[in-house]
């Protein structure tokens, strides 16, 4: 138990305000940090999210879901508990949940990253007494190269493949990562094609005013000659023979923080691994914990035991909070 929150079978719960954060099961009142499947589950009676993420969450949960939205920083009250949402910089609409009750401020980070992403509002660190941080990449080996250098490498790989007459297949998570990468591609190199799951999210991003280069759903492609020299963005789940068959001459790459680890690159058997993550790296996690000013730290997701141990060595009152179950490598 950290900062007035308790862990229950349904997930992280605020008893004073009577709401759950990213509940694991259907509940009365759910506060959702962002629209990734391991945080936003269908079936709850009502939802609250950041306005920037409303269209995405509605697309994920369906038109019947009852969703209320708050602007970043806007205050709501639940049973005398002050509740507000603040940018987490993870994907569009991602939010940290700030809870203030009887003078005690608790912030739940959700997933976050500290580097800029043109497709969402940047992380706004919050001062608090208790901070619950994710730790997906909470090991010192995880340090990200500069995102602009990685984007330059992706564009160079694409250009080289085009010159060799190959299709560039880039695997990236359909929600967030794919759009962040799209925003950094150089459309002068060639056509950009998308898997259906990516194109669906692109439409939501564009409707929200995010500028992305022109894309075409690969299933709509008439002129097969365009495949040579094209870049295709697809979710990792599309990497199976039935879907890949249409690209006879190809180079495959995967864009993920996991590409930092050679074993993951080998397991994916891709030609290239680009290290780009929508989660904070080790330095970002430590800096964000420090910026919170909190003495009480809860750690969830990923390498929680390792990060808790490190924080305790630094004098923090830290413990693991298993608020969300890991869902394989999805969305990382």
Which residues sit at the interface with Zn ion, rule CB under 5 A?
A: 36, 38, 111, 331
Which CB sits closer to Zn ion, 280 or 331? 331
CB of 104 to Zn ion, least distance (A): 25
Contact residues for 29 (Cβ-Cβ < 8 A; gap 6+): 18, 19, 20, 44, 45, 46, 48, 78
Which CB sits closer to Zn ion, 15 or 118? 118
**C-alpha distance from residue 214 to each of 153, 206, 217, 271 (Å):** 20, 10, 10, 26
CB of 219 to Zn ion, least distance (A): 27
- Please give the Cα distance from 191 to 127 (Å, whole number): 45
Which CB sits closer to Zn ion, 211 or 327? 327
- Please give the Cα distance from 109 to 71 (Å, whole number): 17
CB of 110 to Zn ion, least distance (A): 7
Which CB sits closer to Zn ion, 168 or 280? 280
Cα angle value 132/201/260 (rounded, 5°): 55
- For the packed helices 196-207 and 54-61, what is the interaxial angle rounded to 10 degrees? 140
CB of 330 to Zn ion, least distance (A): 8
Which CB sits closer to Zn ion, 36 or 180? 36
47 by DSSP, 3-state: which? strand
Which CB sits closer to Zn ion, 17 or 53? 53
CB of 207 to Zn ion, least distance (A): 21
CB of 232 to Zn ion, least distance (A): 23
């Amino acid at each position: 138990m950290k900062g007035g929150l308790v862990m229950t079978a349904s997930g992280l719960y605020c008893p004073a305000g009577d709401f759950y954060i990213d509940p694991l099961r259907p509940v009365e009142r759910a506060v959702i940090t962002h629209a990734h499947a391991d945080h936003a589950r269908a079936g709850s009676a009502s939802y609250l999210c950041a306005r920037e993420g409303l269209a995405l969450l509605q697309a994920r949960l369906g038109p019947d879901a009852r969703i209320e939205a708050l602007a970043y920083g806007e205050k709501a009250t639940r049973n005398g508990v002050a509740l507000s949402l603040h940018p987490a910089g993870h994907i569009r609409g991602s939010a940290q949940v700030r809870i203030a009750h009887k003078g005690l401020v608790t912030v739940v980070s959700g997933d976050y990253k500290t580097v800029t992403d043109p497709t969402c509002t940047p992380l706004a660190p919050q001062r608090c007494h208790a901070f619950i941080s994710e730790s997906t990449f909470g090991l010192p080996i995880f340090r990200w190269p500069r995102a602009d250098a990685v984007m330059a490498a992706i564009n160079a790989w694409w250009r080289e493949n085009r010159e060799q007459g190959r299709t560039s297949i880039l695997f990236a998570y359909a929600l967030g990562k794919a759009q962040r990468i799209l925003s950094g591609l150089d459309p002068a190199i060639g056509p950009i094609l998308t898997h259906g799951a990516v194109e669906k999210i692109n439409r939501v991003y564009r409707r929200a005013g995010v500028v992305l280069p022109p894309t075409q759903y690969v299933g709509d492609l008439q002129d097969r000659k365009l495949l040579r020299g094209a870049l295709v963005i697809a979710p990792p789940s599309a990497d199976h023979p039935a879907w890949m068959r249409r690209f006879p001459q190809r180079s495959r790459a995967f864009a993920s923080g996991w590409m930092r680890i050679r074993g993951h690159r080998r397991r994916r058997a891709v030609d290239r691994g680009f290290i780009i993550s929508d989660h904070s790296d080790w330095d970002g996690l430590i800096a964000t914990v420090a910026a919170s000013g909190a003495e009480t730290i809860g750690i969830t997701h990923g390498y929680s035991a390792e990060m808790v141990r490190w924080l305790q060595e630094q004098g923090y009152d830290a413990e693991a909070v298993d608020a969300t179950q890991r869902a394989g490598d999805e969305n990382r």
